[in-house]
């Protein structure tokens, strides 16, 4: 079952989202989101496997989240979140419902507190890899690992953008993607704030992912 176009659900307990992402787990569409009170929650967006209408069941995974991202693979949602202090956490989410696994802190990542991040999985690269770009308010950093906990990095972290070099422009919320036919090149989508005019633009830049071919 998939989500049909032009159908909306009431998502409780929040009406505003700081961060949100979509995933699938065992045939069920899931919506992960961080609300304005910093709760990370998950809601089912169809009724496969549960006796309830779509969007009616919500579970809280953390009460101190600031940003979230998910890598959805067969039988598991690899859930990541940055907490309100900028620390990174991971939850191996395998069942919708019941107490979730305790979050594991990703201590091998960025030395600076994370503001936002983006995470993907690239099965086409050699080796297959988990990739995460973090943003700490100044730097865009890319991490590439062979495991979802980012314990085995395939190369040292790489800074791909430095906001301090062009203080007139503030480039934020980098979001990474890799074309399924590519094995090296990442596209980084981001937004740019002109500090002089307050005009916000959207754009992208390219960067090679370290440690893969």
Q: What is the mean pLDDT of the chain?
A: 89
Residue 82 lies in a domain: yes
Q: Is the separation of the CB atoms in 173 and 135 below 8 Å? A: yes
Sign of CA dihedral 151, 153, 157, 160: negative
Q: What's the pTM value of the predicted model, to 2 decimals?
A: 0.89
How many C-beta neighbours within 10 Å does residue 142 have?
Answer: 24
Give me the count of residues in the chain.
213
Percent with pLDDT over 90 in the chain: 73
Percent with pLDDT over 70 in the chain: 88
Q: Is the separation of the CB atoms in 55 and 45 below 8 Å? A: yes
Residue 14 pairs with which residues in a beta bridge?
none
Residue 161 lies in a domain: yes
Task: State the pairing for strand pair 185-194/88-93.
Answer: unpaired
Residue 101 lies in a domain: yes
* Local structure of residue 128 (DSSP, 8 states): -
Tokens 């953390």 appear where? 62
Residue 81 lies in a domain: yes
Residue 204 pairs with which residues in a beta bridge?
189
Residue 179 lies in a domain: no
CATH number at residue 139: 2.120.10.10
Residue 134 lies in a domain: yes
pLDDT tens-digit readout, 152-207: 999 999 999 999 998 899 999 999 999 999 999 999 999 999 999 999 999 999 99
Residue 47 in 3-state DSSP?
A: coil
Integer Cα distance of 41 and 61 in angstroms:
5
Selected residue with higher pLDDT from 14 and 21 = 21
pLDDT tens-digit readout, 96-136: 887 888 999 998 887 789 999 999 999 999 999 999 999 99
The average pLDDT across 123-150 equals 97
Integer Cα distance of 205 and 46 in angstroms:
36
- Neighbour-count burial of 86, counting CB atoms closer than 10 A to its CB (0-12 exposed, 13-18 middle, 19+ buried): middle
Residue 2 lies in a domain: no
Domain span at 45? 17-165
How many structural domains is the chain composed of? 1
Which segment of 43-52, 58-67, 76-85, 111-120 scores lowest on mean pLDDT? 43-52
Residue 73 lies in a domain: yes
């Amino acid at each position: 079952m998939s989500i049909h176009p032009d159908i909306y659900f009431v998502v409780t307990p929040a009406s505003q989202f700081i961060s949100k992402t979509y995933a699938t787990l065992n045939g069920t569409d899931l919506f992960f989101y961080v609300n304005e009170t910093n709760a990370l929650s998950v809601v089912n967006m169809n009724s496969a496997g549960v006796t309830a209408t779509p969007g009616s069941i919500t579970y809280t995974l953390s009460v101190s989240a600031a940003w979230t991202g998910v890598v959805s693979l067969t039988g598991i949602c690899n859930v990541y979140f940055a907490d309100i202090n900028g620390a990174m956490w991971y939850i191996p989410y395998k069942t919708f419902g019941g107490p979730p696994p305790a979050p594991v802190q990703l201590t091998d990542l960025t030395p600076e507190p994370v503001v936002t991040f983006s995470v993907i999985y690239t099965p086409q690269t050699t080796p297959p890899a988990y990739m995460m770009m973090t943003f700490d308010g100044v730097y865009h950093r890319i991490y590439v690992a062979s495991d979802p906990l980012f314990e085995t990095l395939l190369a040292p972290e790489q800074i791909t953008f430095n906001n301090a070099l062009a203080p007139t422009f503030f480039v934020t919320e980098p979001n990474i993607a890799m074309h399924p036919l590519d094995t090296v090149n990442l596209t980084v989508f981001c937004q740019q704030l002109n500090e002089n005019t307050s005009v916000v633009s959207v754009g992208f830049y390219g960067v090679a992912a370290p440690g893969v071919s």
